[in-house]
């Protein structure tokens, strides 16, 4: 009698040719359409599998894994993993992995583009033109804010923040950053970035970019009080997570002219967008696509597949998933999880 192959649940449609590599080792259950799975559906799917490939749409914590005795690994397709309760997964002996590095440059490109679009009012100007409002050329049409030689403030100086700082050199920008921990001096020099405290960053940035990971500690870090410390001519760009910004306070600041413009790729209740933001002309809104180049999204799925395969003890990296989040879970791995040398 042949032994049943381990089973993998793929929670969302993800490049079938890349995901198809899993079939060499596993039975794979793919989700045909983008789905907002209810917690009970996630729990039911996880109960019947050994590993899962999930995205930020799928929130997984203790209740979702409680009835999943076979589940050994969850590969998140994304660098941010606030959709996963890592402590609960570790307690349950489930390894979680994410997809850092492969998306760094693409996401930094997008952060820069969104900041430029907000500062130079690109989408607002396009809407105005398409609406037939451009009746004659005027010297004062859609005046925006310069990026070159302006001060760029980066909140969160991980790999993506550093990528943005490197791009800023080409615009001759002065770069300031704030981060949980200060970068080594050599890296600061390479990024041409100076460390400042949070309030100084708010006060001095002409353009403030949010690139920090979400955690409950930074929930609504950018609130009315923080926005009040910024220059009225400044822009705010968020490519991190929506919950970092108090969206009502931001709408107040943008609506009253307290802040010049904003670029948002992430939202607290996404895919729902605060209607007050939708009604404002001076905010560029994009649907969480910062890492969304074709090559990078494929690379993210490929890395997640590699992580899952390795975490389940097969393939070239068997037992050594390339980018684990909670390596501690390996130490209390469930029976059957092979670990490499
Ligand atoms: C990430 O990787 O965290 C992006 O926000 C979504 O894929």
Q: 237: closest CA among 328, 150, 172? A: 150
Report residue 300 as tokens: 């993210």
Identify the active-site residue in 270, 276, 298, 320. 270
In angstroms, the CA 311 to CA 117 distance is: 41
pTM recorded for the entire structure: 0.94
To test ligand 1's pocket by mutation, which of 82, 103, 105 has the most ligand atoms within 8 angstroms of CB? 103
- In angstroms, rounded to a whole number, what is the distance separating the alpha carbons of residues 129 and 133? 6
Q: Which fold has domain 7-102+294-331?
A: Rossmann fold (3.40.50)
CA of 257 to the centre of ligand 1 (A): 31
| Nearest by Cα to 283 from 103, 127, 159, 58 | 127
CB 284 within 8 A of CB 263: yes
The SS3 call for residue 5 is: coil
pLDDT tens sequence across 211-249: 999 999 999 999 999 999 999 999 999 999 999 999 999
pLDDT for residue 4:
85
Answer yes or no: 339 catalytic. no
CA diameter of the chain: 81
Instruction: Express each pLDDT in 154-209 by its tens digit.
Output: 999 999 999 999 999 999 999 999 999 999 999 999 999 999 999 999 999 999 99
The pLDDT tens digits for 286-325 are: 999 999 999 999 999 999 999 999 999 999 999 999 999 9
The residue contributing the CA closest to ligand 1 atom 7 is: 78
Query: What are the domain boundaries of the chain?
Result: 7-102+294-331, 104-285
Q: Cα(106) to centroid of ligand 1, in Å?
A: 11
Ligand 1 pocket: which of 290, 294, 325 to mutate (most atoms <8 Å of CB)?
290
- Topology match between the domains 7-102+294-331 and 104-285: yes
CATH 2.40.30.60 is held by the domain 104-285: no
Q: Does residue 258 have an active-site annotation?
A: no
């Amino acid at each position: 009698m042949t032994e049943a192959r381990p089973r993998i649940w793929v929670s969302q449609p993800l490049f079938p040719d890349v995901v198809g590599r899993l079939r060499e080792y596993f039975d794979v259950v793919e989700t045909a359409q983008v789905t907002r799975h209810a917690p009970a559906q996630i729990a039911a799917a996880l109960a019947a599998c050994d590993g899962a490939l999930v995205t930020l749409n799928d929130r997984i914590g203790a209740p979702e894994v409680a009835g999943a005795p076979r589940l050994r690994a969850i590969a998140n397709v994304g660098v941010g993993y606030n959709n996963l309760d890592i402590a609960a997964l570790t307690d349950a002996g489930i390894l979680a992995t994410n997809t850092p590095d492969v998306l760094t440059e693409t996401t930094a490109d997008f952060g820069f583009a969104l900041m430029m679009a907000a500062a130079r009012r690109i989408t607002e100007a396009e809407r105005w033109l398409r609406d037939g409002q451009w009746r004659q050329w005027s010297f004062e049409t859609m005046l925006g804010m310069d990026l070159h030689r302006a001060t760029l403030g980066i909140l969160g100086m991980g790999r993506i923040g550093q990528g943005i700082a490197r791009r800023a050199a080409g615009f001759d920008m002065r770069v300031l950053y704030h981060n949980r921990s200060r970068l080594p001096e050599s890296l600061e020099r390479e990024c041409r970035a100076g460390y400042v405290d949070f309030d100084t960053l708010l006060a001095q940035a002409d353009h403030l970019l949010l690139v920090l990971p979400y955690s409950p500690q930074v929930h609504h870090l950018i609130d009315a009080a923080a926005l009040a410390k910024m220059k009225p001519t400044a822009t705010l760009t968020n490519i991190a997570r929506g919950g970092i910004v108090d969206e009502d306070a931001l709408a107040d600041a943008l609506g009253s002219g307290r802040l010049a413009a904003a670029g948002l790729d992430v939202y607290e209740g996404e895919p729902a967008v605060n209607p007050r933001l939708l009604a404002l002309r001076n905010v560029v809104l994009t649907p969480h696509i910062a890492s969304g180049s074709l090559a990078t999204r494929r690379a993210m799925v490929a890395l997640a597949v590699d992580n899952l395969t390795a975490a389940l003890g097969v393939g070239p990296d068997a037992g050594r998933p390339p980018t684990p989040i909670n390596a501690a879970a390996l130490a209390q791995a469930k029976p059957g999880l092979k670990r490499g040398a």
